[in-house]
């Protein structure tokens, strides 16, 4: 009778040669940083044997890892893509993890050592093309699940959720609700609630909505992980030494010297971030402080770090007379050492999921002001009163320098309050640092293992 190892070796060889004889397979695997995913035939006999040896040793010790598939459309940028990669890193000691993507173009995250399966089914144009593409993705993902004997499939974002919940292959399906904007499509939410085994929400507010508005009792909350060690390390060192970032750093250092009363925010250029409110509020702060004869009025400045074209915001600042007092330098790869030198962090979003930047700012030692938008800010700040929450801002985009809205004045009042009251600042700094610990990697891992098993 053949040993388990001999049988597995023969199976691995057969599987390899069968794959090799297929023409142009639709999926591929890659390991490494920003490298194009290789075809299935690149998984050679040795890697199959090594993996099986590891599984056999694990089985003999009675601690076989569950096979976990993380699914996201791409890894080119974005919040849930970052969480997907971070999840793979954090859970790797306890789970056998594969990341499935629909397209490997423009990978922006370090995937060194991670197992990534590229389905090679990127975006298609036209209604028919998109519909056919969804069917192809479902078929390809189902095939991958069967080949890898996946036990748990966890998808990030609506596009991945749709394919995941329609490609069941004996696996336990988890659909991740990552943003309040996801609720703009209630039909899809109903589908996920019906087809998925569990709904994973990044905020408790969204879990409550799923339970109450969709009568779905299989939702649970998994707040995003915050790499507090990275924040702590960066805040304790000099500004980023990356040679590609030196032009940005010089601009920031010069700007900070002129504007020690610095207000900062982070986020991509997107109307959902409500940045026009922040630009207008800074203008009001300077005007009000100047009218009251305060010497620091001219030292108030604004920096927004993030990707995208901010030219319309630069134009708005110029029309408000604060063109030289607002800076939009782009992406700073290691932002926390710079953040730590600012006076206040402001979040002006109209909608969120779970704003990582708010917790990161608190961990970096900044007092924070945030809109009480859905969802996330109240869940982060209210339990320990560790920051200032203001009522939601007007949602209609208004880029007119002549039209200042009620929300702009409300935001400006709280910004000035923090800039002028040092005792209040220190109170929020201390409480914010303490609260940030709740969202640590360790708590994230514990929550995942509690719900996923292992």
Q: Is residue 446 in some structural domain?
A: no
For range 242-255, the mean pLDDT: 84
Tens-place pLDDT, residues 54-105: 544 544 455 689 999 999 999 987 788 989 999 999 999 999 999 999 999 9
Same domain as 61, residue 77:
yes
Q: Which ranges of 157-199 would DSSP assign to H, the alpha helix? A: 158-165, 186-195
Q: Is residue 451 in some structural domain?
A: no
Q: Is residue 448 in some structural domain?
A: no
For range 155-160, the mean pLDDT: 95
What is the predicted pLDDT for the residue at 19? 42
DSSP element (H, E) containing 148: helix 127-148
- Region of 154 please: left (phi>0), alpha (psi -120 to 50) or beta: beta
Residue 230 pLDDT > 70: yes
Is residue 107 within 8 Å of residue 75, measured between CB atoms?
A: yes
Is residue 269 within 8 Å of residue 282, measured between CB atoms?
A: no
For range 36-57, the mean pLDDT: 42
What is the predicted pLDDT for the residue at 34? 44
Same domain as 261, residue 201:
no
Q: Is residue 158 in some structural domain?
A: yes
Same domain as 10, residue 41:
yes
Tens-place pLDDT, residues 271-322: 999 999 999 999 999 999 999 988 788 999 999 999 899 999 999 999 999 9
Is residue 352 within 8 Å of residue 374, measured between CB atoms?
A: yes
Same domain as 190, residue 70:
yes
CATH number where 262 lies: 3.40.50.2000
Residues 6+ apart with CB under 8 A from 439: 223, 224, 225, 226, 228, 359, 380
Q: Is residue 449 in some structural domain?
A: no
For range 151-164, the mean pLDDT: 97
- Tell me how far CA of residue 170 lies from CA of 143, 149, 167, in angstroms: 12, 9, 9
Of the residues 198, 222, 246, the one at which a domain ends: 222
What is the predicted pLDDT for the residue at 454? 79
What pTM value is reported for the model?
0.81
Closest Cα to residue 111, out of 27, 227, 30?
Answer: 30
Q: How confident is the model at residue 14 (pLDDT cuts 50, 70, 90)?
A: very low
Closest Cα to residue 358, out of 288, 296, 443, 273?
Answer: 273
Structure tokens at 115: 């197992």
Q: How confident is the model at residue 270 (pLDDT cuts 50, 70, 90)?
A: very high
DSSP element (H, E) containing 389: strand 388-390
Please give the residue range of the domain that contains residue 354: 228-440
Same domain as 203, residue 240:
no
Q: CA 173 to CA 138: how far, in whole Å?
A: 13
What is the predicted pLDDT for the residue at 79? 81
Residue 238 pLDDT > 80: no
Other Cβ atoms less than 10 A from the Cβ of 247: the count is 11
* CA dihedral (414, 420, 424, 427) positive or negative: positive
The β-bridge relationship of strands 261-266 and 368-371 is unpaired
> Residue 185 carries which DSSP code?
-
What is the predicted pLDDT for the residue at 64? 86
Same domain as 264, residue 205:
no
Same domain as 373, residue 258:
yes
Same domain as 115, residue 57:
yes
Q: Is residue 453 in some structural domain?
A: no
Least-confidence region, from 46-55, 222-231, 338-347, 360-369? 46-55
For range 18-44, the mean pLDDT: 43
Q: Is residue 26 in some structural domain?
A: yes
What is the predicted pLDDT for the residue at 35? 40
Of the residues 197, 222, 247, the one at which a domain ends: 222
What is the predicted pLDDT for the residue at 56? 44
Q: CA 428 to CA 417: how far, in whole Å?
A: 12
Same domain as 292, residue 369:
yes
Least-confidence region, from 185-189, 210-214, 243-247? 243-247
For range 420-426, the mean pLDDT: 96
Of the residues 175, 199, 222, the one at which a domain ends: 222
**More reliable by pLDDT, 361 or 238:** 361
Residues 6+ apart with CB under 8 A from 426: none
Establish how many alpha carbons lie within 13 A of residue 210's alpha carbon, considering only the half-sphere containing its beta carbon.
32
Same domain as 232, residue 200:
no
Q: CA 150 to CA 306: how far, in whole Å?
A: 37
Is residue 176 within 8 Å of residue 353, measured between CB atoms?
A: no
What is the predicted pLDDT for the residue at 245? 76
- Average per-residue pLDDT for the chain: 87
Same domain as 153, residue 181:
yes
In a 10 Å sphere around its CB, with 0-12 CB exposed, 13-18 middle and 19+ buried, how is residue 144 labelled?
buried
Same domain as 171, residue 259:
no
What is the predicted pLDDT for the residue at 294? 87
- Tell me how far CA of residue 63 lies from CA of 56, 87, 96, 268, 453, in angstroms: 10, 20, 12, 42, 12
Residue 342 pLDDT > 60: yes
Q: CA 380 to CA 353: how far, in whole Å?
A: 12
**Number of structural domains, the chain?**
2
Q: Is residue 297 in some structural domain?
A: yes
**More reliable by pLDDT, 246 or 414:** 414
């Amino acid at each position: 009778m053949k040993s388990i190892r001999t049988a597995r070796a023969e199976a691995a060889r057969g599987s390899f040669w069968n794959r090799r004889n297929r023409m142009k397979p639709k999926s591929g695997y890659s390991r490494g940083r920003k490298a194009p995913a290789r075809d299935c035939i690149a998984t050679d006999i040795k890697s199959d044997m090594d993996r099986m040896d590891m599984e056999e040793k694990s089985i003999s010790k009675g601690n076989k890892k569950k096979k976990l598939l993380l699914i996201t459309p791409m890894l080119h940028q974005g919040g849930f893509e970052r969480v997907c990669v971070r999840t793979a890193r954090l859970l790797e000691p306890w789970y056998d993890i594969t990341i499935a993507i629909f397209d490997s173009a423009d990978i922006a995250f370090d995937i060194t050592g991670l197992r990534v399966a590229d389905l090679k089914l990127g975006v298609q144009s036209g209604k028919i093309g998109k519909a056919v593409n969804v069917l192809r993705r479902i078929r390809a993902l189902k095939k991958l699940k069967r080949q890898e004997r996946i036990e748990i499939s966890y998808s990030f974002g609506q596009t991945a959720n749709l394919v995941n919940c329609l490609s069941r292959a004996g696996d336990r399906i988890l659909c991740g609700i990552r943003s309040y904007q996801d609720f703009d499509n209630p039909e899809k939410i109903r589908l996920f609630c019906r087809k998925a085994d569990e709904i994973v929400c990044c905020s408790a507010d969204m879990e409550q909505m799923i339970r109450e508005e969709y009568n779905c009792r299989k939702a649970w909350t998994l707040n995003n992980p915050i790499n507090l060690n990275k924040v702590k390390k960066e805040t304790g060192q000099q500004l980023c030494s990356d040679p590609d970032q030196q032009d940005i750093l010089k601009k920031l250092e010069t700007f900070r010297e002129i504007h020690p009363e610095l207000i900062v925010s982070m986020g991509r250029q997107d109307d959902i971030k409500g940045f026009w409110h922040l630009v207008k509020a800074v203008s009001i702060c300077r005007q009000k402080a100047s009218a009251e004869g305060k010497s620091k009025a001219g030292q108030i400045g604004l920096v927004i770090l993030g990707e995208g074209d901010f030219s319309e915001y630069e134009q708005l600042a110029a029309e408000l007379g604060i063109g030289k007092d607002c800076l939009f330098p782009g992406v700073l790869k290691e932002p926390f050492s710079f953040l730590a030198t600012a006076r206040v962090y402001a979040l002006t979003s109209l909608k969120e999921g779970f704003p990582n930047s708010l917790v990161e700012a608190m961990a970096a030692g900044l007092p924070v002001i945030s809109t009480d938008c859905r969802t996330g800010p109240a869940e982060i700040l209210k339990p320990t009163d560790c920051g200032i929450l203001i009522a939601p801002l007007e949602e209609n985009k208004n880029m007119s320098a002549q039209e200042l809205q009620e929300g702009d004045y409300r935001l400006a009042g709280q910004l000035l309050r923090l800039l002028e009251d040092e005792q209040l600042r220190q109170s929020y700094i201390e409480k914010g640092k303490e609260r940030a610990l709740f969202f640590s990697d360790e708590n994230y891992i514990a929550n995942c293992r509690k719900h996923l098993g292992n």
